[in-house]
Chains A and B, each alone.
Chain A
Amino acid sequence: MLTISGLKAGIEGKTILKGIDLEVKPGEVHAVMGPNGSGKSTLANVLAGRENFEVTAGSVRYDGHDLLALKPEERAREGMFLAFQYPVEIPGVSNIYLLKAALNAVRKHRGESELDAMDFLSLVKEKMSLVQMKEDLLYRAVNEGFSGGEKKRNEILQMAVLEPRLAILDETDSGLDIDALKVVADGVNSLRSPERAFIVVTHYQRLLHYIVPDRVHVLADGRIVKSGDRSLALELEEHGYGWIEGAAGTGAEEAVQ
């Protein structure tokens, strides 16, 4: 589904990703972990098409497409979804309008007709119960005045409505208390399916108690320094990223500094 080969990318002339190789198959959940500054969020944003990042080498294939040649909206229409670390507030645009506009753009791309108002509303309400979101948030401006937890739930709601095939969660757990974390994880778990893949970017392995990954990758200084199964996350929890530094050599040390 997704094949990343030798990906190098940076921002304002500074190289952050220094050669990433990653293969994600349908149905899999991949966790990307690493200390601050290791390049986790850069990877998520480069995949989603954020324009201020510059790709200097490598390639990304997604479902037969050259992903890097697609605009952000084209990636989204092809089934990619980024849950933002910091969801953006958009005063003046209601949450429900955004959901409807986004869903209709995706459906149009798939050759499906727009949902009528009744069908749309019942779909949204069904998905809202999944993330235990209060209905009045639908009619408020996008993320405006939402609490941190509400913003993250809103991201998962959008994901549930849009039903992407590849979802990237960028530190969705940051700033969440344990109850909100469980709700978010339940939302994600309910969307797991053999056709759908997830990349879960996180600093802490706490989230991975609830979203159990198939593969865990540790990123340090812009490279994947270690990959393994779920037990790798547990080892990290026990030993911290310092344990990886020793294993990965000097590169990881720079990242930690």
Chain B
Amino acid sequence: MSETDRQLEEFSRLQPVLPGMRVPWIERLRREGLERFGELGYPSVRQEDWKYTDVRPIEKRRFTLADVPVPVEPEAIAGYRLTGLAAHELVFVDGRFVLECSRVDDLPAGVTVTGLAAIMDRAPGALEDHLGHYAPADDNGFAALNTAFMTDGAYIALAAGTRVDAPIHLLFVSSGEGRAAHVRNLLVAGPDSHAVVVESHVGLGEGEHLTNAVTEMALERGAAVDHYKLARDGAKTYHIAGTHVHQQRDSRYTSHNVTLGGRLVRNDLGAVLHGEGGECTLNGLYITGGRQHVDNHTRIDHRAPHTTSREWYKGVLDGRSRSVFSGRIVVHPDAQRTDARQTNNNLLLSRDAEADSKPQLEIYADDVKCSHGSTVGQLDREALFYLRSRSIDEATARNLLVYAFAADLVQRMGLTPVRRQLEGHLGGALLSADAPGEVV
């Protein structure tokens, strides 16, 4: 059976349980996604955007959606919660919202934080102007498939002028063998609203898993959203994620996109600056080993004058791991006074690791400031000897230099528990609990 036929069959099987199927426009959206997948299929290495990332293993695995939710013990996920501060927490298992494990404290009036599926069934009107508007299903086969099968995810709506002080943690847990989760998130940030959203992906079992996530974000005039995406999937997880951000005038989007786990991770992160004064900051960090493959494709569209973007991705690669960074910046004809900077730095810890870096600047306006740069290097032998000559053993010295390489990005993370988690991950064998970059 062809993959398209198999997905058609899956669709018929799951139709009764997919949310929003009684809502005509959602049903139509899903069917269009399915059709589009029929046309596109999975991306192929013959396509420029997928040249380095071969997804045939995903096709071969023939992942299926779980039709009933898998029960998860609260203790099993305790270690992945955000600790040390008050947070609203939505827990999803294999892409399905689990109310019993979630916790949403008092929210300001005008703020909604809940599962998307419930809204699709009960209040679809709230979604109609947004869902599917920012992540067009014709992007690639995965996005199309997600639109057809989107099961659940987070729905966050911020009314004008609202601020959510505690971070909103979206914890996506994969439970195990051969399952696919088509996660869909939607965030609508009204004028001058503010929120911090942490999206974590973790794997409980060692089984194979596919996460196919699409996140849409709309930032109205003056809205500010800090978005952390932490991929700490299991070693046999395939993680495909598209994040699509649309920004109106004077809005500010800050992304911290961190990849630590997973067998194959592909991030497509796109921000479109539609209004003057819009700013987007894309920070990214990938730390890989073994045979991991991490592919970050970012695209920033400057569509209005006086818009600013800052992009800084760093990678640390060990073992036989492989990374791809492709950063596209498009300055459209009307976007005068655009200010865009992009940097990608890679540190190779092993001879067998490989980093590909591809900056792409397309500039159609004449009064702009744009720069980009990328590097691939190894540990500084001089620095290593310097540390060792000061009594620090080789393994610790190496860890310290890896920490130092990533430190400036880690220190940009304002959220202490997330920063501490990463410092712990980076400094596993360091001598003391103090962060090497901070004061004692």
Contacts and interface: CB of A to CB of B under 8 A. Distances in A.
Please determine whether chains A and B interact with each other in the same assembly.
yes
Interface of A: 48-52, 71-73, 75-77, 81-82, 84, 87-94, 96-98, 100-102, 104-106, 109, 117, 120-121, 138-139, 141, 158, 162
Interface of B: 380-383, 385-394, 396-397, 400-401, 403-408, 430-432, 434, 436-440
A72 B385 contact: yes
A76 B408 contact: no
B437 A105 contact: no
B439 A139 contact: yes
B393 A93 contact: no
A121 B440 contact: yes
B329 to A, nearest CB: 26
B436 A94 contact: yes
Nearest to B402: A92
B437 A93 contact: yes
Given A101-B432, A105-B431, A121-B440, A92 B405 contact: yes
Contacts of B407: 91-93
21 contacts: A71-B394, A73-B388, A73-B389, A77-B391, A82-B389, A88-B383, A88-B385, A88-B386, A91-B407, A92-B437, A93-B400, A93-B403, A93-B404, A97-B434, A97-B436, A98-B387, A100-B431, A100-B432, A101-B400, A102-B391, A105-B390
> Is the contact region of chain B dominated by helix, strand, or loop, or is it mixed?
helix
Contact of B393 (A84, A105, A120): A105
A51 B390 contact: no
B431 A90 contact: no
Nearest to A106: B391
B364 to A, nearest CB: 36
Pick the most buried of B382, B389, B393, B431: most chain A CB atoms within 10 A of its CB: B389
Contacts of B405: 92
A88 B382 contact: yes
B440 A76 contact: no
A75 B392 CA distance: 11
B391 A90 contact: no
Contacts of B438: 94, 97
B437 A102 contact: no
Nearest to A89: B383
Given A92-B403, A93-B403, A100-B440, A162 B391 contact: yes
A76 B389 contact: yes
Pick the most buried of B390, B397, B430: most chain A CB atoms within 10 A of its CB: B390
B392 A92 contact: no
Contacts of B393: 73, 105
Nearest to A80: B389
A97 B382 CA distance: 18
Contacts of A77: 391
Contacts of A120: 440
Given A92-B437, A94-B439, A121-B440, A84 B386 contact: yes
A102 B440 contact: no
A90 B387 contact: yes
B427 to A, nearest CB: 11
Contacts of B437: 92-94, 97, 141
Given A88-B380, A121-B440, A71 B434 contact: no
A188 to B, nearest CB: 18
A121 B440 CA distance: 9
B429 to A, nearest CB: 12
A12 to B, nearest CB: 14
B404 A92 contact: yes
Given A76-B390, A90-B401, A96-B439, 10 more contacts: A72-B385, A92-B436, A94-B439, A97-B436, A101-B431, A102-B390, A105-B390, A138-B439, A141-B437, A162-B391
Contacts of B385: 50-51, 72, 88
B390 A162 contact: yes
Contacts of A104: 431-432
B125 to A, nearest CB: 50
A96 B401 CA distance: 15
Contacts of B388: 49, 71-73, 76
A104 B436 CA distance: 14
Contacts of A141: 404, 437
